[in-house]
Amino acid sequence: MGKKKIATKTEEAVLKEGKATEAAQAKQKGQKVRQRVESGRIYIQVSYNNTIITATDAKGNVLAWVTAGSLGFSGPKKATAFAASKVAEAIAEKLQRSGPSTVEIYIKGIGGGRNSALKALANRGFNIISIKDITPIPHNGPRPPKPRRV
């Protein structure tokens, strides 16, 4: 049969192989390998029905998102200021390890939780560069319907 050959690897080759397999396992599970992001954007969308907060990096790739409904609030409770502050705290928890520390905040909508969500984010230690309101404003809008003739 012959002699058996024993393959030996250097420590560097073993370490490289180990890192490659960890990344491959994370990809197979559908998990993304997170990297540290220094600056980013936080979009706060507040409506009469819900509060949605999305965190992105500078290019616009979504890092994390949280809604009031995903935290267990239901019905009219989703649109309250308390729910908005809880959503902001939840997104701050998600971004604590890998998320941005300096952020630009974009607020959209006219709900009750605008101020409370902003205050909650400021209290969690984010370095806020700018706050912009991107609520759409109609410029006279579409033509109204004709008056009804009776």
Domain made up of 39-133: CATH architecture: 2-Layer Sandwich (3.30)
> Which pLDDT belongs to residue 31?
60
- Helical (H) or strand (E) element with 53: strand 51-57
Domain assignments of the chain as residue spans, ordered by start: 39-133
Residue (of 48, 87, 86, 96) closest to 66 by Cα position: 87
Handedness of CA 46, 50, 55, 58 (dihedral sign): negative
Q: Is the pTM of this model over 0.75?
A: no
pLDDT at 148 over 70: yes
Query: How confident is the model over 76-91, as pLDDT tens digits?
Result: 999 999 999 999 999 9
First to last CA, the chain: 104
- Burial category of 120 from C-beta neighbours within 10 Å (exposed 0-12, middle 13-18, buried 19 and up): buried
